[in-house]
Structure 1
Amino acid sequence: MLFKKLGRTFSVALCVAASAVMMGSVSAADYPDRDIKVSLHVKPGGGTDTMSRLVWKHAGRLTGTNFIVQNYPGAGGQIGYTLLSQAKPDGYQLGAITTLSIVTHELTRKGVTYSLKKNFRPIGRVVLDPSVVVVRADSPYKTIEDLIAAAKKDPGKINWGGTFLYGAHHVHYIMFSKATGAKLQYVPFDGAADSRAALLGGHIDVGSGGVSEYAALAKEGKVRILVVGGGQRYSALPDVPIYKDLGYDIQVGSNRGFAVPTGVPEERIKYLDDLLAKVVKDPQFLEEAKKVGIAATISHLSGKEFQTYLLKLQDLMREILPPEKLVK
């Protein structure tokens, strides 16, 4: 009798376990079964916006899923990041994350409710876009040495515009100033489209942004790129020096990728991670990436690789940023 009871119990347990496995596999297979929203913390028109729309357009083509890209600019990216961090962790809301804002917000801003480590799970990096120093074509600064000399002659008189305070392009200025001793006035904008328009309109003297955001304008003769903050010369602009060519130890740029809020099921994170890896190798995506000027900056990292990279970068920023600017 005891063995019969044990046998029946064991059979029931096996059925329950099998059902759980089947339900789990069905659950994973059923994702996604509706639209997925993609939040951007920047205004339309900049490098992050362009990259994101292109990536999820082709992700939709490859999967049949509708990815809805929405802009939530403001407060230097804080509005968009807050929305993403507080989203339901079901895999139907993901968002762009970029450096250095995703790394420095919690270090430099009081009242920030999110943490890179606690609230975000990266699903991959798509682009590493070196930051450049750029001027209008009619600027008196023909080289980076011209700019340094002028800034040293009149400290604080020349203004330098870029994106968010303690974002990639502001940190570019900080590193530039420390390395050269030149002092300019940094002017922050809520996105690359705004800072680029300000430069072209003559409202700022110098700009910094991703090389992909200015390469086409340089080719058209509308701007002059003085230096690229990458580890090697940009293939589309082979005559433009990098800092190493000039004797400065500066490398800085914008990492652009995506994350979901912490708590999304692992199988859904893997689905999105694998999808990004597939998109960045897709011939149709790469062909269109060439047309919009981002192909040369594509530098894919998996979600785990991107997370490790970002956390190490955050530790570095704690060392680089002025102590008085760090939130106590």
Structure 2
Amino acid sequence: MRIRSRLVALAAAMTAGAAAADADTGKDFFKGKTGQWIVATAPGGGFDYYARLISRHMPKHMGAPGFTYVVLNRPGAGHTIGTNLIYVAKADGITVGSFTTNLVYSQIIERKGVRFDLAKMSWIGKAAADTRILMVAVGSPFKTFADVVASSQPVKFAASGVGSGSFMEAHLVGAAFNIPQRVIPGFGNQDATLAMMRGELEAQMSNSTEAINWSKAGQGRIVMQLGENAVPGVPNAADLVKTPQGKTIVDLLVAQAQLARVTAGPPGIPADRLKALRDAYAATLASAEVKAEAAKADFPIAPLVGDAVRDKIVAALNQPPEVVALLKKLATTKVEYLTHAGPVTKSENGGRKVFIKHQGKDVHAETSGSRTKVTIGGKPAKRGDIKAGMTCALTYLRPGAEATKIDCKG
């Protein structure tokens, strides 16, 4: 009996020793190396902030002297370009990155250009939750969510672009609660709020931080929330939904709201290195220093680490046929674009905003370095090549929106 007990104890000690060795091996790999943290957006904004905050502090918790991160911004195609780069990176633990979980929609509908499988990625964690808010215009006839549902006329919802997160969310909320609606693309969050104040739009889906700020400033009225109860006294969609399909849609939207500011690496990162990354990520977000810095910048911290994040992603991807069909239908929605032509009066910030004189009126378009197709004299060009005095045609959803195409004469 004593011999058996000694053998059991010895086996336990060997197992513990092996686990410790594995952990040390995972950490040791990163000593003296420079990691790459890909952000699937341009510099600035929430995704970039969280990536730079975490990547700056995380090496302190790696237990790997000399390890550091460099942040690489790789925007384009609604986070698809950056996420593709993360997915195909060498699976050694050196490259990780951050992107929107709205890519769940892209994978479900098999959007062109998607080369990743979110379920297979090496999930490190998520830094925050982002309760989704339905906000209506103060000057609208809607005082409550019940008023929105009972509207006798289509409610005019704002969205940024066809297939965007705000576009999908607006339509999905409409489908879940049978809201009569007209979703009007071409509005970023700030533009949508201004349009609501002018009475041009009546509602928009937004994140809780921006919606609460706009509500406090008297620029909108919050009538419903999805996810955590970020706004006391406002009804939650989970308590309002009545139909089975509506509940499925709400569950999908809530999953998206719970998984904000995610970080993952390519499939196949060795288990010991992935554990080292996850442990350091968790310690970073638990540190008082990071919490204080994020709070000062008004960015919430609500972490979740490892397979718990992966499980939620897999659940969100696993949608019934009727929801998949709805998402695919939304992604192929046709909208009417405008084309306005005239002489360029000015081009600001390296071509990021282009102004022309059209039929005696000044109009402008925002431009994207990846999404806006620019030609000059019939040849491909960059937005920074557009100069005052050229004659250009802007193709967009409305004046002030992002242009899909700008054609200029040489």
The answer, yes or no, to whether TM exceeds 0.5 is yes
CA contact (8 A) 1:84 1:93 kept: yes
* Match of residue 197 from structure 1: 190
The alpha-carbon deviation at position 94 of structure 1 amounts to 0.7
CA shift in 2, pair 1:163/1:69, >3 Å: farther
Stretches of structure 1 that go unaligned for 5 or more consecutive residues are 1-21
CA contact (8 A) 1:131 1:208 kept: yes
CA contact (8 A) 1:160 1:184 kept: no
CA shift in 2, pair 1:43/1:141, >3 Å: farther
TM-score (norm 1): 0.74
CA shift in 2, pair 1:79/1:33, >3 Å: same
User: What residue identity is the alignment partner of 1:264?
Assistant: I
CA contact (8 A) 1:131 1:172 kept: no
Deviates more, 1:91-100 or 1:63-72: 63-72
Deviates more, 1:217-226 or 1:91-100: 217-226
Alignment partner of 2:71: what SS?
strand
Whether 1:233 and 2:209 are equivalent positions in the alignment is: no
* Match of residue 272 from structure 1: 277
Deviates more, 1:257-266 or 1:91-100: 91-100
* Match of residue 59 from structure 1: 58
* Match of residue 295 from structure 2: 290
Whether 1:315 and 2:308 are equivalent positions in the alignment is: no
CA contact (8 A) 2:127 2:304 kept: yes
- RMSD of aligned residue pairs (Cα, Å): 3.4
* Match of residue 105 from structure 1: 106
User: What residue identity is the alignment partner of 1:78?
Assistant: T
Deviates more, 1:269-278 or 1:69-78: 69-78
* Matching residue within 79, 89, 92 for 1:90: 92
Alignment partner of 1:37: what SS?
strand
* Mapping 1:111-260, distance limit 5 Å: 111-118=113-120, 120-135=121-136, 137=138, 141-150=142-151, 152-153=152-153, 155=154, 158-161=156-159, 165=163, 167=165, 169-186=166-183, 195-202=188-195, 205-230=202-227, 232-234=228-230, 237-244=231-238, 246=240, 249=247, 250-251=250-251, 252=254, 253-254=256-257, 255-256=259-260, 257-260=262-265
* Match of residue 261 from structure 1: 266
Alignment partner of 1:201: what SS?
helix
User: Using CA pairs below 8 Å that are at least 6 residues apart, which structure has the higher relative contact order?
Assistant: 1
| Separation in structure 2 between the aligned mates of residue 70 and residue 76 of structure 1, nearest angstrom | 16
CA contact (8 A) 2:177 2:241 kept: no
The alpha-carbon deviation at position 56 of structure 1 amounts to 2.4
* Match of residue 9 from structure 1: none
Identity %: 25
CA shift in 2, pair 1:200/1:88, >3 Å: same
* Match of residue 6 from structure 1: none
| Separation in structure 2 between the aligned mates of residue 40 and residue 303 of structure 1, nearest angstrom | 19
| Separation in structure 1 between the aligned mates of residue 161 and residue 123 of structure 2, nearest angstrom | 22
| Separation in structure 2 between the aligned mates of residue 204 and residue 42 of structure 1, nearest angstrom | 27
| Separation in structure 1 between the aligned mates of residue 50 and residue 96 of structure 2, nearest angstrom | 15
User: What residue identity is the alignment partner of 2:310?
Assistant: Q
TM-score (norm 2): 0.61
Instruction: Give CA-to-partner distance per residue, 1:217-246, whole Å, 9 cap, x none.
Output: 33343433221112x521xx3133322455
Alignment partner of 2:114: what SS?
coil
User: What residue identity is the alignment partner of 1:307?
Assistant: R
Alignment length, in residue pairs?
292
Whether 1:301 and 2:326 are equivalent positions in the alignment is: no
Instruction: Give CA-to-partner distance per residue, 1:26-59, whole Å, 9 cap, x none.
Output: 6741414233222222344444333333322332
CA shift in 2, pair 1:247/1:270, >3 Å: closer
Stretches of structure 2 that go unaligned for 5 or more consecutive residues are 1-20, 332-410
| Separation in structure 2 between the aligned mates of residue 187 and residue 50 of structure 1, nearest angstrom | 29
Alignment partner of 1:68: what SS?
strand
